Structure formats: C-alpha cells, structure tokens
Structure 1
Amino acid sequence: MFDLVELFTHWQAGRSQVQLSESLGIDRKTIRKYLAPVIAAGIEPGGEPLGAEAWAELIVGWFPELEDPGVRASTWPLIAPHRDRIKGWLDAEVTVATIAQRLRDDHQVAASQSSVRRWIATHFAEEVARQRVSVPRGPVEPGSEAQIDYGRLGMWLDPATAKRVAVWAFVMVLACSRHLFVRPVIRMDQTTWCTCHVEAFEYFGGVPARLVCDNLKTGVDRPDLYDPKINRTYAELAAHYRCLVDPARAFKPKDKPRVERPITYVRDSFWRGRQFGSLTEMQQAAITWSTEVAGLRHSRALEGARPLRVFEAVEAPALITLAPRPFELSIWSIGTVGVDTHLKVGKALYSVPWRLIGQRLHARTAGDVVQIFAGADVVATHVRRFSGRSTDYSHYPPEKIAFAMRTPSWCRQTAQLVGPACQEVIAGFMADNAIHHLRAAQGVLGLRDKHGCERLEAACARALVVGDPSYRTIKGILVAGTEHGDEQPTGGRGAAATAGACLRGPDQFDTNLPVA
C-alpha cells in the first residue's frame, strides 16, 4: 500500500496528478479518489504545508478502514464472537487452516481462510509473532550429534518381481560437518532401522555421541519431552555403541533441520531419473553418491566448504570408536501367556512356566535363540522357530503331563526294567496303533507302583499263558493274587475265551426233563 502522507505532501507542494502518477506509480483515478476529501476540506496546493503528524490525523478521519481493516471486512464481525475460542486454539498451536475449517464446520462462520488469517494477524499479532520466532542453534561440537530420518524417494519397478514398490531413504547426517549417509530401503521395520544404523556407523568409521531421531515405533516406544521410553532393541544398539538416543519432539521437524532439508536434495540428486537393477545395486550407488556427490558439494551452511573435507579434518577424529565385536541384532516383542502356557512370538508359539499364565511377558529374539523375560528374569529359552510350537514339558504341572511324557519309547524302556514278559506285553500294545493303546500300556506299567515289578512280571507272564495280555486281565490277576497259581484269572477276555460259551460243566445239567 502506498503512503498517503507522501502523496498529500507532494500534491500540496504543487505537483500535478500526472506527475504524481508517474513518480509514485499510482493510477490517476486512485489519486483523484484520495484527493477528494482533501480538496473538500479546503486544502489547496501551495498553501501552508502540513506536517506528517497532521496529515496522519486527517487520514484516520477520512479513511478509517486504512487504520482498522475490520471496518471494510464484512466477515470480521462474524469471526469476532469467537475470539476466546480462537485464542485457545492458537495457544494449542492449531494452524490457521484448521481454525478456519473448525469455524466453518462447527460454528457456521462463513469466512474464508484468508479472512481468518488476516483477522488473526490483526488481533493476535503478538501471538503470531511469538510462534514465528526461531532461536538459532549454537555451533555443534564435532562428533557430538547425528540427525536421522526416513524420506520417501518414490516408486520403483523391481525387475526380480516385476512389481512396483515404494522406496524410502534412511538418512543420517552428522550435524557438525553435514556429511551424510544414505541407504535406500523398501521396509521400515525394526531390523531395517538397526541395520541401517550399523551400516552408517561403518561408513563413517565411528559413532556420534548423540542420535536425534523421530518418534517412530522402531526407535521410541513412548514419546515424552523429558523422559521418552526408547525401544528395547534400539536401546541395546545404543548401549553397544556407547551413544545416547535423544528423540526429537513429536511433530517438531525443526528439532532436526539438518536431516529434514537434505531429504529433498537426496530425492532430486540421487533418485530422480535413474534406473536400478536391484535393491543391492541401489544401495551401493547410494554409498558412492554420498561420498562423491553429496560429500563434495559446496555447502552454504559451511560457507562453501565441502562436507567430506570438513568431516575428514574435524569430525572423523572426534567420533566414538567402533565396538570391537559386531552388534547382534535382537527383536523384542510382548505378548500374553495363554492357558496352554504358550506365548506368541512372531508366527510361532513358545511355552513358559505355567504359573505365568495370563501375564504379559517380553520376548527377545536374537539369531537362533528366543528368550522370554518376566521382568529382568529369563523364564524360558527356546530354539527359534518360524512357525508351529516349541514346548518344554517341564513348564507344565507334573499331573497335567503324565500322559504326554510317558511316550511309547518310555513305555518300552520301562518294560525292559520290569522283565521279558512285561516287555512282550508292552510290545504287543505298541505293535499296532501305538497311540491308541498308549493308555493301556501306561496303565499296565502303572501297576508296578502298587504291586511291585516282580508281581507285575509274573502277572504279565500269566496273562500271556492264558492268551489275554490286556490291562484288565493283568490287573485282575494281581488283585486276585493268582500270578503264581493255577486259578483261572477273572475279568479278562482270556477267561471268557478259555471257558467257551458254556460256563458250567455237563454234570450240572438235568438230563431227565419231561418231553412235551
């Protein structure tokens, strides 16, 4: 907006409207519009000159809308009743676009976003200015900080699968030298996150003292300004490399500007217009690009210096030395123990002691081993499986697993301890459908607890003689105490088979029956 005081001062000094239009760049119709109240007030060119303050006072009276834009804004009276509500939203850092949308949808305020923006800028100028204040960071010490983030590169046609997949760039930037590491990935899971860190540390030849990352789940379990809860796998990585994880505040990209800005540069310089035959080829190309292109660019933040040269001269010697042994990647998960004493880890189930049924436990998978923790204590260790169950029967109450533990092999081995007759009986049970006859075999061997091995062996021999080595017959022999006698055993299939259909002798039948 042009300065009316300047316009009126030049006009009173005797300059024509044509001259004013040419020198001030104002249309002559506009000049006539603003000069109309001046002429009506009796002020003439060449008269006693007025000072700037006098002109300003007159302008407020003639054109109040210039002092208060709300005078000419038809929508401002609709916005004004919501002043307190808008202030609350601004205090909560709600954007102007969202404020305009809420006024329109929730309170039927027919005002455009630009009108709301102007109203807020006029009535809450201090609040708006406060939000825009940016405190410059001091210089970062060499080796003290790395900023980390993912950035989307685009879609890639994988020649191996002929499918289009989204490709993301893992980017780590050393805050002092601005030297960066880029690794394209197609997954952003826990394994990828930690693997990228290991590759970045190997690339730099050392570890920065502090890692500033986003609040993504693979790094942070619970965001908090003062006490964030770091993901256990990420915490193990930080402990292994002796560095600190310091997550940025949620939705505060300015907390890590050194990695936010290069994402666009990576996408434009490394990714666009290039073709890659495989993910491995892409990752190798990213290493070369990080060194030969990004590392040798002239950085305005470094006053034209090259990041790679600054890194080699200043930052590389300040990094923490790499650990002597490689980091063993572990995956932590959490689950609830079911009534079958098993906990799900990945797609497999692992048993834990039965007393932990219903509790939520942590599981750590590293290499081929799965460890399950109750607090800080390891309560179960299993060989890793990718499906199915891994069961340790010692995790069950003894009375619940008696049947499962006394397998056919156990029955055969125990029968050998009793004697050859018992061994023959058990072998008969196991000869056909061993699982179906397992209960009977367990029952026969269980008789030794009450009657002893010697009597059980004799009873088995007796049952074999009569041709009915069943559990019922052997038990009947032991109960009757006839394992060493000649009495016929009772209660078994052999007794019925030996006696035939008639259970009484011929002398007990009456042969002198009258004939009808």
Structure 2
Amino acid sequence: LFIDYCGPTVDVVDGATGQIRPTQIFVAVLGASNYTYAEATWSQGMSDWIGSHVRAFEFFGGVPLLLVPDNLKSAVSRADRYAPEVNPTYAELARHYGTTILPARPYKPKDKAKAEVAVQVVERWILARLRHRTFFFLDELNSAIRGLLGELNNRPLQRQKVSRRELFETLDQPALRPLPSSPYEYAQWKKAKVGIDYHIEFEGRLYSVSHSLVGQVVELRITAALVTVLMKGKQVALHQRHGSGRFSTQPHHMPKSHRRHQQWSPGRFLNWAKQMGPATLTVVQHQLETRPHPEHGYRACLGILHQARHYGNQRLEPACAQAIEIGSPTYRSVASILKNGLDKNPLHEPITDHEPLTHDNLRGPGYYR
C-alpha cells in the first residue's frame, strides 16, 4: 500500500464564524490494481495519520503486506536511506495489523511512484471537480469525496479496459490479510523521568510507579482512556488517564513509610486543623499544597499533630501564627517555636490606646472645617 498526501488542500468554512480552515487530502493506493482510497483530515499530524490508515484498511476490507509511506514526521522519526527510524505509534499500528513499514528513501521518487500517480489522479478526478463547491463540515467534504472515489474506482482504465475495482477483486483482494477483531486504538508514546515522588507527569497529571524506579527514564503509552508505563518494554504501571484530582497513586507503588499513613487523607488533616484555628489550618495547607505530592506532606502534618499532643492545643495555634508571621509556615519552624517557648512571647507588643498627642505644629480637627 503506497501512501501520501495531495499538495492542494480543500477549504472547509465554519458556518458560524466564516473562518476558512484548509484540510489535508490523504491518499492510499494498492500496488497491483491501483485501487484508491482518499479522505480529508484536518492535519497530517499523528492522530489524523493513524486514523486515516485505520479507515483505509476498513475500506479495502483487509491489510496489505507492506506499507510504503513518504518520510513525513508522522511516519518516520528520523529519515535515513538505509535504516529509517519509524515513529513508535506508527510501528505499533503496523504490529497490530500484522503488516510491515518500508518508508520510501529520501530523494528517491521511484520508491513512491505509485503514490505520486495516485495523488495526481485524485487531484484531477476528485479535487478538481470539487473546486467550485463550498463545504461547511469535514464530514460533508468526505461524503463528496467518497462519491467521486466510487466513480474513479469503477471507471475503466484506458489501456486495460477494466476498472480498478475489477483488478482489485482479482489481484489485490485475495492477497490482503484479514482485519483484526478490533481496530487499532490511537496511542501516543512519550518518555518521562520518574520524579523523587515516584510519579511521572503527563499533561499536568501525575501517575505513580514503583518507588524503586525513582530517577529512571520510562516510556509512556497514552490512549484516550489509559496511561501505560513501560520500563525496557515491560509494563510497570497502568492508570486511568482521567480521574478526580491531579494525582493517580496506586498503594502498592508507595514506600512502606507512606503506606503506614495511608489511613490519613488531606481532608482529614484539614478538618483537624480547622478545629485548632485559622493559623494551624494555613500551616497544614502549606504542607499539603507545596509538595510534589500530598503524601510527602503527610509526615509534616503528623509532626504538627504530634506537637499539639505534646505541648497542647492552646499553644499550637499561636505557634503557627508566629511561623506564618516570620514567613516560614513549616513543621520545623512550628516545632522550634514551641520548643523554645517563643509562642509565649509575641513578636510585636499589642497595640494599646493612648491619649491623643497635642503639639503646636499639629492641626486639630477644626482646621479642616
């Protein structure tokens, strides 16, 4: 199967705003019969590239033994005449369908001659006939392309006097491999370094892995629903991609020291702190919100709780207020203030009422009347 994009684009107009958005025309052609598939997508990006392949295989009703794409970035991560590096997502699609990818060599147009001819045919027999039409939806454009595509494939070839469809049914269709039971689900591949909090980050959300992998570089396979973490090709973690909160932490990934505190939660700490007073609440919030992961704030919160038990609830609130005032709302500061009894000596003397000052140079209220 030879694959490429047309040079010309087709515009789709947003009916609400009037904004014009160009679409890319994907073309795939089978080598023996020239049986052709084409569709419009918003881009040549990875998601559209993979989706076009899935729909092309469904159109042909099977999978060819070999895929010959051009060297666009969605297909080839690093172009090389002898050893091109295929994009991981594209390679995974090929494994799913049991086919092989052989990118065309750079600057070797003969490697993709079939694709270039098919692109020209699509431009002349389909896009040229659509050039005076206005489309307001991508589906509307693809519906028009499908109608003309049927005409193209059923039209007799000049030399052979048979259609592409007839040749397809005779030559290519018997050689196609069957489609798998389910279509390929698009997945992104990323590399990430495991942080000190034994979490990796993707799009602002953090996912846990075993704490033994801290500092290691792992691979992420991201689908619409799942985040799979792999180390040297072996799955080490699996998470739901979306969920409540910023963190997705699995208990068996925690160090034992964290598991001991699993019965605690941010809500439980905050409820306890509210009972102590607003300053204690602020200090506890600081422990939970300024750490890479709330679990890392649990120890500090438990330490503050221990201070309350040791020195009493009445002393904890003034100590927390003083820690906030000096700009250090941490467990160590609170513990130091209590240990040294500084909570008993406020930093500032309380403001008291004084007799109003009188002086010859002071204007009284009568001056402003």
Do both share a fold (TM > 0.5)?
yes
Q: Does 1:152 align with 2:152?
A: no
- Preserved CA contact (<8 Å) 2:28 2:36: yes
Report the Cα distance in structure 2 between the residues aligned to 1:388 and 1:216, rounded to whole angstroms. Answer: 38
- Do structure 1's residue 203 and structure 2's residue 59 form an aligned pair? yes
Q: Distance in 2 between matches of 1:288 and 1:386?
A: 42
Map residues 170-189 of structure 1 onto 2, 5 A cutoff. 170-189=26-45
Which residue number in structure 2 is paired with residue 442 of structure 1? 302
- Deviation digits for residues 321-351 of structure 1, max 9, x if unmatched? 1111222221112345566665453465545
Determine whether 1:229 maps to 2:85. yes
Match of 1:291 among 124, 128, 150: 150
Distance 1:404 1:432, change over 3 A: farther
Q: Name the SS of the counterpart of 1:172 in structure 2.
A: strand
CA distance in 2: counterparts of 1:427 and 1:389, whole angstroms: 24
Question: Contact conserved, 2:14 with 2:20, CA < 8 A, in 1?
Answer: no
Aligned equivalents of 2:306, 2:260: Cα separation in 1: 11
Equivalent positions of 1:13-32 (< 5 A) are none
1:310 paired to 2:176 = no
Distance 1:494 1:231 in 2: 62
Verify the 8 A CA contact 1:426 1:441 in the aligned structure 2.
no
What amino acid is aligned across from residue 265 of structure 1 in structure 2? V
Kept in 1: contact 2:220–2:228 (CA 8 A): yes
Aligned residue type for 1:210: L
Judging changes above 3 Å, is the alpha-carbon distance between structure 1 residues 412 and 387 closer, same or farther for their aligned structure 2 residues? Answer: closer
| Equivalent residues in 2 for 1:44-123, closer than 5 Å | none
Map 1:261-272 → 2, pairs under 5 A: 261-272=117-128
Alignment of 1:353-372 (within 5 A): 359-372=216-229
Distance, in Å, in 2 between the alignment partners of 1:433 and 1:494 is 13
2:95 is the counterpart of 1:239? yes
Distance across 1 between alignment mates of 2:343 and 2:213: 49
Instruction: Decide whether aligned partners of structure 1 residues 427 and 469 sit closer, same or farther in structure 2, where only a CA change above 3 A counts.
Output: farther
Cα deviation, 1:437-462, whole Å, max 9, x if unaligned, reads: 577963364379xxxxxxx6xx79xx
Calculate the TM-score normalised by the size of structure 1. 0.51
Cα contact 1:219–1:231 (8 A) shared by 2: yes
The count of residues paired between Structure 1 and Structure 2 equals 308
Change (3 A) 1:348 1:150: farther
Residue 141 of structure 2 is aligned to residue 282 of structure 1:
yes
**What is the CA–CA distance in structure 1 between the aligned matches of 2:340 and 2:192, rounded to whole Å?**
52
Decide which structure has greater helix share: 1
Q: 1:472 to 1:168 in 2, by over 3 A?
A: closer
User: Cα deviations across residues 50-84 of structure 1 (Å, max 9, x unaligned)?
Assistant: xxxxxxxxxxxxxxxxxxxxxxxxxxxxxxxxxxx
Q: Among the aligned pairs, what percent are the same residue?
A: 30
Q: What CA deviation, in whole Å up to 9, does each residue of 1:258-296 have, x standing for no partner?
A: 11012122122212324223111111222222222x102
User: How far apart, in 2, do the equivalents of 1:351 and 1:267 lie?
Assistant: 50
1:153 aligned counterpart, secondary structure: coil
Counterpart Cα distance in 2 of 1:283 and 1:380: 40
Q: CA deviation at 1:491?
A: 8.4
Unaligned runs of 5+ in 2: 288-299, 320-338, 346-369
Deviation of 1:203 (Å) = 0.7
Q: Which amino acid aligns with 2:186?
A: L
Give the Cα–Cα distance (whole angstroms) in 2 for the partners of residues 492 and 226 of structure 1: 75
Contact 1:346–1:386, Cα closer than 8 Å, also in 2: no
- The reply to whether residue 249 of structure 1 matches residue 108 of structure 2 is no
User: CA 1:393–1:172 in 2, change beyond 3 Å: closer, same or farther?
Assistant: closer
**Residue 67 of structure 2 corresponds to residue 220 of structure 1:** no
Cα 1:257–1:396 shift into 2, 3 Å: same
Whole-Å separation in 2 of the counterparts to 1:310 and 1:328: 31
Is 192-201 or 366-375 further displaced after alignment?
Answer: 366-375
Distance 1:387 1:254 in 2: 53
SS in 2 for 1:361: strand
**Which letter does structure 1 place at the counterpart of 2:4?**
D
Give the Cα–Cα distance (whole angstroms) in 1 for the partners of residues 34 and 14 of structure 2.
34
Q: Which residue of 1 aligns with 2:351?
A: none
Cα gap change, 1:367 to 1:184, in 2 (>3 Å): same
Amino acid at match of 2:228: Q
Secondary structure (helix, strand or coil) at the match of 2:47 reads: helix
- The Cα shift of 1:313 comes to 3.0
CA contact (8 A) 2:194 2:213 kept: yes
From the CA coordinates, give the structure whose radius of gyration is larger.
Answer: 1
Letter in 1 for 2:59: Y
Measured against aligned partners, the alpha-carbon deviations of 1:474-502 in whole angstroms (never above 9, x if no partner) come to xxxxxxxxxxxxxxxx9879999xxxxxx
- Deviation string 1:173-214 (CA, Å, 9 cap, x unpaired) is 011111100011121111111110110111111111111111
- Name which of structure 1's ranges 157-166 and 191-200 shifts more when overlaid on structure 2: 157-166
Q: Whole-Å Cα distance in 1 between the matches of residues 244 and 123 of structure 2?
A: 39
Unpaired segments ≥5 residues, structure 1: 1-145, 414-424, 449-455, 474-489, 497-516
